[in-house]
Amino acid sequence: MTWTIDQVRHKQRLAMEELTAIIAHEENARRDVRAYEIESQLPPSTYSKLFGCDEANRLLVEQLLSDDGAYVLAVTGIGGIGKTAITDRAVREVISHFRFRKYVWIRADPFSLDRNTLDYDAAIDLFANEIALKIAPEVAGNASKEARMGRIRQVLKSAPYLIVVDNLETISNTAFLMKQLQEWANPSKFLLTTRVRPMGEASIFSYAVEELSEHDSAALLRHHALAVGQPDLAFATDEQAKMIYDVVGGNPLAIKLVVSLAITMPVTLILDDLIHGYTTQVESLYERIYRRIWQSLTYDQRNLLQAMPLVAESGGDIAQLRSLSTLKDAELWPAVNELVNRSLLELLGTTWERRYGVHRLTAAFLQTNINRWDQEDSDEMEELRL
């Protein structure tokens, strides 16, 4: 068979197109693997689905990818509003663009960064050492402060890094970092989660996370109820969902906690209790919810929950939980399952390597209030006996 010149060219074109498709497929596969490797270095996500944050995600991703945007960004809002989840989603989307050489996630310890207990230099050096451990380990630990600060600046100025600083809780925690971050930034960027907007910093892009709308609150309520096996709330009518929204508002964590409390208490009783102690302070609302939950837990569940603040940020496996709680498997697994259903334990890791963590707000409230609650409950029981 003799081919014409046109036939040969056609075959060559088809072969080139096929080769191009193969190369593109392999390149996409390599990019997917690389993106997965980068994502695996981040803390595990603690959500399965987010509601009402599409605009926040769009703005954050746009700023992070922009060469002309701000180099320090802050996601602000009250506790439990979803700052960390929104930040996590934006960072994971940015990863697929390969805009940054490396992604670093640091969870700030509010006590170690407290300006009331540390002077400025000590606090900055402590923070710098956390960053050095991630990007320049050769100057972490025993190196001089000058060597550490200089090396960090050199690394962050030589290529774009994205540094997430999560959990800046107070004005003092946030304010004292700003000057240093501005010196390190460009081309690297910093993304902070904080309860307060950095004051007097016009060069910082700040996004304030607001409460969910009534519509999104109802969607979250039904989604979470379905996830924890609460069919009545999973199929709540708009009127029933509005009853909950009118009392707890659109705070995601508060909504989840009400769902968890409804496992043992009627929703109407929960809402009546919250209305009776109504306050405009979100922290007071949380305290009433957490106290009700604490009173409904068994001894084993309380024992395990009290041990959870000792677990690392990335979560602990079942062996760690067994060791910290001193519970036997026959006691431990029922406690784990119940606390997960109550939204008091967070599922981390994968199905193959499951780890368990606790929301920082849960840890803070329980650590602060458990002894007082138990004492008040004991006093009430004593009065009833009398």
Whole-number Å distance between alpha carbons of 250 and 211:
5
Q: CB pairs under 8 A, 24+ apart, for 222-230? A: 223/49, 223/51, 224/255, 224/256, 224/259, 224/343, 225/259, 227/48, 228/259, 228/260, 228/263, 228/340, 228/341, 228/342, 228/343, 229/341, 230/259, 230/262, 230/263
Looking at the DSSP bridge assignments, the partners of residue 193 are 75
pLDDT of 381 higher than 60: no
Residue predicted with more confidence, 232 or 361: 232
Identify the pLDDT of residue 277: 63
- Phi, psi for 99 (deg, rounded to 5): -80, -30
Is the CATH number of domain 216-385 1.10.10? Answer: yes
Identify the pLDDT of residue 378: 59
**Confidence band of 111 (pLDDT split at 50, 70, 90):** very low
- Phi, psi for 14 (deg, rounded to 5): -65, -40
pTM of the predicted model as reported, rounded to 2 decimal places: 0.76
Identify the pLDDT of residue 88: 95
For residues 336-363, give the mean pLDDT. 82
Residue 319, burial from CB neighbour count under 10 angstroms (0-12, 13-18, 19+) = exposed
What are the tens digits of pLDDT across the range 11-50? 778 778 777 777 767 676 776 677 778 787 888 888 889 9
Pair of tokens at residue 240: 């029933």
Whole-number Å distance between alpha carbons of 211 and 219:
13
Do 168 and 174 touch, CB atoms closer than 8 A?
yes
Instruction: Give residue 344's identity as a one-letter amino acid code.
Output: L
What are the tens digits of pLDDT across the range 140-182? 988 899 999 999 999 999 999 999 998 876 555 666 788 889 8
Instruction: Give residue 25's identity as a one-letter amino acid code.
Output: H
Identify the pLDDT of residue 5: 78
Identify the pLDDT of residue 195: 81
pLDDT of 336 higher than 80: yes
| CB-based burial, 123-134: b 16+ in 10 Å, e otherwise | bbeebbbbbbeb
Do 166 and 91 touch, CB atoms closer than 8 A?
no
For the chain, domain boundaries = 54-208, 216-385
Identify the CATH homologous superfamily for domain 54-208.
P-loop containing nucleotide triphosphate hydrolases (3.40.50.300)
Question: Within a 10 A sphere around the Cβ of 169, how many other Cβ atoms?
Answer: 20
Whole-number Å distance between alpha carbons of 172 and 127:
14
pLDDT of 3 higher than 70: yes
What are the tens digits of pLDDT across the range 290-308? 888 888 889 999 999 989 8
Whole-number Å distance between alpha carbons of 185 and 189:
6
Whole-number Å distance between alpha carbons of 245 and 213:
9
- Phi, psi for 165 (deg, rounded to 5): -115, 105
Identify the pLDDT of residue 377: 59
Return the DSSP state at 308.
Answer: G
Whole-number Å distance between alpha carbons of 84 and 165:
10
Q: Strand 205-208 vs strand 346-349: parallel, antiparallel, or unpaired?
A: unpaired
In the predicted model, what is the mean pLDDT of the chain?
Answer: 84
